[in-house]
Chains A and B, each alone.
Chain A
Amino acid sequence: MITLVNVSKRYVTDHVPGPWVLNNVSLTIPPMARVGVVGSKGSGKTTLLRLITGTETPTKGKIERNARIAMPTKYSRSFQPLLTGRQNAKFICRINGSVDDLEERLLAIESLAGLGEKFEKPMNTYTPAMKLSMGFALSVELNFDMYVSDAFNFSGSTAFKNDEAADAAIEKMISHSGIIIASKNVKGEAILKRHCKHGIWLHDGNAEWFDDIDDAIKANRNSQPPKSVGNKISQEVRPENELAKKSLEKIRILSSSLTIVARGLNGSPVVVSNKESARIIKAASHIGMSLLTPEQVAEQGYRIPEGAIPVLKKKTADSGEEIGLYDLEIQCQKTELNA
């Protein structure tokens, strides 16, 4: 059972107190509860989770934790790169109070992580997927009462072949415990729907409890303005004549193509809608990056899932060899090509 009593939180930046992120929030999270946290950007989802795990202390109010709480996705960030997987696992077991059963736990972790000989190698030789497998194995084997996470995302890990396997793994992890997850985007909402029963909706510093996660997601959706690229410009200026409209359209396309290309360079997958495709694909090819349209994704034999997170396809400059398929694999579902 986790109880928040009149909790308020604000951050102090350069001696100036910021706005209240959470304002007088009272919540009771029952044991074994499966809770999803929704809210727009900056509504305090991460702050709430960090308060619950005890990483942050509330500015006002009180939090009572009568459970062993873990934030498993944080593990992959705190591995010490020079130490082996076993040494890192030992450390995390130890700070979580494992003494007599340490060897047993380590055996279980080793087999669940499925890293083979790599378990004895320094962690700076691990791929991100291997680190993820380690983090996952640790969180399962340490048997916490409540798992707290910004976003459960185990897809892309070597431990799981597809989304179903990842889901099954998460279900195994939380079979004897509760879970609190925050969603960042549409894909996150799908995960919440799969794993959570209850919901918390954060808005304007308040937290509202919903017995049904669907209601929380609905409430959050209804409160948000519809999204569109470049809507800032079109909202601010309402041009009267055709010429101004045209030049505005040009600026809009340019700025949106720039953001899309920038996003792609940051490593986040990108796909372009039909309307802007020609221009953006041309711009991207100038810098050696190729983008896909939804039709091209379909031609490769993949389907963009509902609430699409689009796809980036990159080219290596030297050999001209395409390496984009990896991104396709983890972002899209493979479909049978119909002749």
Chain B
Amino acid sequence: MTTQTRSSALITYTTWKALFLRAAVNSLSKGRVAWFWLLAEPIAHIVLLMWVFTVLRVRSIGGISTAIWVMAGMLAFFMFRRTAAQSMMGLKGGKSLFAFPQIRPVDPVLVSTGLEGFLMVVISIVLLAGAWLYGLAVIPVDPLAVIEAMFGLWLFGAGYGLISSVANELAPPVGLFLGFMLRPLYFLSGVIFPITFIPYPYREWALLNPLVHGLEATRLGFAPYYHVMPEMSISYLYGWALLTFFFGLALHVNYAERLARAK
């Protein structure tokens, strides 16, 4: 009798790998040209916004060219939103997988955060390379700062997704609210207009949003002479990111069995 049981770490690793490859193939083969839409969505947002700024004759924002300001902000924001939006659906798509005892409910969610993060890195590189060919100065002066900010945004997106995925199953109204919140965040995070435009008492409120700090930090990484808002704090973003991420993980551990059985 050759009974060979695998270690927990190995099982988790092979499970994540298998789920990752499956999710990647699946998301790229959904439609006829799924890979095209991956790129087209951020491009459409960026081009539209740049067109608006061109019409308004805004050449620079905060001391850097509008194009850089828009691209850096938009890519950073998408890093958060795509991660959050896709991972909150991770549980729904993974229902049939819980028949395999190796797969815990948290696995498909974590894997989709990883996949979205990976896709966003690829998308960012492709778009920045395209912009570079147009002669825009899109090469980050401080790449480590950009990576730091983007990783913080990804982590916050993952935490947001982990919490919402549990909420979607066990408290649908809360899940609905969290999903809905992703829309106004687009306007409230300094993606399409600088937070510094907001007059004094309300600006304090806008600064409570950790995304604002992440986006500003990303722009600062692209151009160190950017007039960043003085209150910008990357640790504030990381505080939120770690808090939501571990709270989300705790929820998943606590409700693992109910999540696996929920219809």
Contact = CB atoms under 8 A, between A and B. Distances in A.
A306 to B, nearest CB: 33
B14 A91 contact: no
B101 to A, nearest CB: 4
Contact of B1 (A31, A56, A82, A83): A31
A56 B257 contact: yes
A97 B11 contact: yes
A66 interface: yes
A71 interface: yes
Interface string B1-39: 101111000110011011101100110011000000000
Interface string A197-223: 000000000000000000000000000
Contact of A145 (B3, B17, B22, B26): B3
| Residue among A31, A66, A87, A95 with most chain B CB within 10 A | A95
Interface stretch (B49-57, B91-99, B136-144, B158-166): B91-99
A56 B261 CA distance: 9
B102 interface: yes
Interface residues of A, number: 31
Nearest to B2: A145
A79 B101 CA distance: 15
Contacts of A82: 26, 29-30
B100 interface: yes
Contacts of B260: 55
Q: Chain B, interface size: which category?
A: 20 to 34
Q: Looking at chain A's contact residues, is the secondary structure mostly helix, strand, loop, or mixed?
A: loop
A94 interface: yes
| Residue among A57, A74, A78, A99 with most chain B CB within 10 A | A78
Contacts of A96: 102
A83 B22 contact: yes
Nearest to B30: A82
A54 interface: yes
B18 A54 contact: no
Interface string A72-107: 001101111011000100110011110100000000
Contacts of A83: 22, 25-26, 29
Nearest to A59: B257
A155 interface: no
A97 B99 contact: no
A68 interface: yes
B1 A32 contact: yes
A96 to B, nearest CB: 8
Contact of A77 (B14, B26, B96): B96
A7 to B, nearest CB: 15
Given A66-B3, A68-B4, A97-B11, A74 B99 contact: yes
B136 to A, nearest CB: 38
A278 B191 CA distance: 75
B103 interface: yes
A97 B6 contact: yes
A119 to B, nearest CB: 16
A54 B101 contact: yes
B22 to A, nearest CB: 5
A305 to B, nearest CB: 31
Interface of A: 1, 31-32, 53-57, 65-69, 71, 74-75, 77-80, 82-83, 87, 90-91, 94-97, 99, 145
23 contacts: A31-B1, A53-B101, A55-B260, A56-B257, A66-B5, A67-B3, A67-B5, A74-B100, A77-B96, A78-B100, A79-B96, A80-B96, A82-B29, A82-B30, A83-B26, A87-B22, A87-B25, A91-B21, A94-B17, A95-B15, A95-B103, A97-B10, A97-B14
Given A82-B29, A94-B17, 20 more contacts: A1-B3, A31-B1, A55-B260, A57-B257, A68-B4, A75-B99, A78-B97, A78-B100, A80-B26, A80-B96, A82-B26, A91-B18, A91-B21, A94-B14, A95-B15, A95-B100, A95-B102, A97-B6, A99-B14, A145-B3
